[in-house]
Amino acid sequence: MINRERLTKTFCDLVSIDSPSGEEDKVRDFIEEKLSAMQFQINIDNYGNLIATTNESSNNNIILSAHMDTVEPGRGIIPVVDKDTIYSKEDTILGGDCKAGLTGILEALDSLHESNHELKNLTLIFTREEEVALLGARHLDFSQILGEKAIIFDGEGPPSIITNSSPTYVSFDIEITGRAAHAGVEPEKGISAIKIATTLINKLPQGRLDDETTFNIGKIEGGSVRNAVPANLYIEGEFRTSSIETMDNLNQTLSIAVEETQNEFEESKINLKSEILFEKYSLDNENSALKIVVQSLDNLGLSPTLKGSGGGTDGNIFLKNSIESVVIGMGVKGMHTINETVSIPDLIDCASLCENIIQQNT
């Protein structure tokens, strides 16, 4: 039986362990200890992802997955349980993304283990650095993974919310080199990297561009001191779209903006690097992982809500590696903010759903 007290404790224990991206060791140890007691074979891959399989396994294994890292500010999190809601006491995120997902899976396993259900045909994948453009999943050796259907616990809202589409994500970095000069003595000898950046940024779109496209300049770093013409500046940006045509157009917009700005500031140097970090998907109703989730939701008396997402998850990478994948809600709201909360009833549903999926399919 799903146990509310145990589940709440597991969640609070997990969020109390700091695990910002790149520092997942302690949380991985916590999971490993729990799984070892259930006779999983555990493998930590070269990148530090945790992959666990049951003794009886085949390529028909069901894959359950969540990520181990959290975003900042996520250190020293103190969870507060207030009736049906959990929030963080101080000005940090709660870490429900993705510790609620981890909790849902672990509670389902605890419950089944307790009732002597034989765990078999299961693969668990707990990734590192999902929040850094899915780095952990991108480093997974998929040839070693048993299973072709994955349920990923990493969505916002209750577990009945299923993510059925996600955009392509392009990141770009622009490095601008101007020329330094004393701002008061000989400013005409300088070329301001900040002025170049403003010219360039004014040529670029920002925000939501259409139903399926967003564009953002997220970070600028430049200049050295108040009284010098700034010589160097770095820009980090991204865009996301579900349309290949829009992606091509935006890549072109970016290149033209750089070229035009370069022509206006001939003696400067502008370096543009862009990269597709993950690719779009949209699930059709025949997706076998989706069918599994819909059936188990139905068994629990819940009906699915299909929803597109503007974000990426490990699902983007799993799908690209021929694993039928579906991403479901884990009871979290306000992900990536200090107002993040977890609903205990939704988290219980998440664990119950996970338990039902295991019971019905393994």
97 binds Zn ion (CB under 5 A): yes
Phi-psi region of 237 (alpha: psi -120 to 50; beta: other; left: phi over 0): beta
How near is the Cβ of 21 to Zn ion at its closest, in Å?
Answer: 11
How near is the Cβ of 239 to Zn ion at its closest, in Å?
Answer: 20
Using the rule CB under 5 A, give the single segment among 149-157, 169-177, 263-271, 353-361 that binds Zn ion.
149-157
How near is the Cβ of 50 to Zn ion at its closest, in Å?
Answer: 16
Using the rule CB under 5 A, give the single segment among 152-160, 172-180, 183-191, 351-359 that binds Zn ion.
152-160
Of 195 and 240, which CB lies nearer to Zn ion in the complex structure?
240
Of 58 and 339, which CB lies nearer to Zn ion in the complex structure?
339
Block residue for tokens 């935006």: 250
Can you give the length of the chain in residues? 362
Integer Cα distance of 193 and 222 in angstroms: 8
Using the rule CB under 5 A, give the single segment among 89-97, 173-181, 213-221, 249-257 that binds Zn ion.
89-97
Choosing from 14, 15, 51, 98, the residue that interacts with Zn ion (CB under 5 A) is 98
CB 145 within 8 Å of CB 57 = no
How near is the Cβ of 303 to Zn ion at its closest, in Å?
Answer: 24
How many residues sit in the footprint of Zn ion (CB under 5 A)? 3
154 binds Zn ion (CB under 5 A): yes
How near is the Cβ of 141 to Zn ion at its closest, in Å?
Answer: 22
Of 151 and 254, which CB lies nearer to Zn ion in the complex structure?
151
Among the residues of the chain, which ranges form H helices? 4-15, 25-36, 96-114, 135-138, 193-202, 244-264, 288-299, 314-320, 344-361
Integer Cα distance of 362 and 347 in angstroms: 22
Q: What is the CA radius of gyration of the chain?
A: 23
Of 154 and 340, which CB lies nearer to Zn ion in the complex structure?
154
Of 7 and 98, which CB lies nearer to Zn ion in the complex structure?
98
CA 215-221-222 angle, to 5 degrees, is: 130
Of 70 and 123, which CB lies nearer to Zn ion in the complex structure?
70
Helix (H, G, I), strand (E, B) or coil at 55: coil
How near is the Cβ of 98 to Zn ion at its closest, in Å?
Answer: 4
Nearest to 231 by CA among 181, 273, 188: 181
Nearest to 250 by CA among 319, 168, 340: 168
Integer Cα distance of 104 and 255 in angstroms: 45
Using the rule CB under 5 A, give the single segment among 44-52, 146-154, 256-264, 280-288 that binds Zn ion.
146-154
How near is the Cβ of 338 to Zn ion at its closest, in Å?
Answer: 16
Integer Cα distance of 139 and 175 in angstroms: 27
Phi-psi region of 11 (alpha: psi -120 to 50; beta: other; left: phi over 0): alpha
340 binds Zn ion (CB under 5 A): no
15 binds Zn ion (CB under 5 A): no
Integer Cα distance of 247 and 3 in angstroms: 47
Nearest to 78 by CA among 68, 91, 97, 65: 91
Joined together, the tokens standing for residue 150 give 């994955």
Of 120 and 139, which CB lies nearer to Zn ion in the complex structure?
139
User: % helix / strand / coil in the chain, to the nearest 5?
Assistant: 35, 30, 35
How near is the Cβ of 225 to Zn ion at its closest, in Å?
Answer: 39
Using the rule CB under 5 A, give the single segment among 14-22, 94-102, 104-112, 248-256 that binds Zn ion.
94-102
How near is the Cβ of 334 to Zn ion at its closest, in Å?
Answer: 13
Of 21 and 242, which CB lies nearer to Zn ion in the complex structure?
21
Query: Which amino acid is it at 310?
Result: G
Using the rule CB under 5 A, give the single segment among 96-104, 113-121, 166-174, 234-242 that binds Zn ion.
96-104
How near is the Cβ of 347 to Zn ion at its closest, in Å?
Answer: 15
Using the rule CB under 5 A, give the single segment among 110-118, 147-155, 238-246, 283-291 that binds Zn ion.
147-155
Q: Which residues bind Zn ion (CB under 5 A)?
A: 97-98, 154
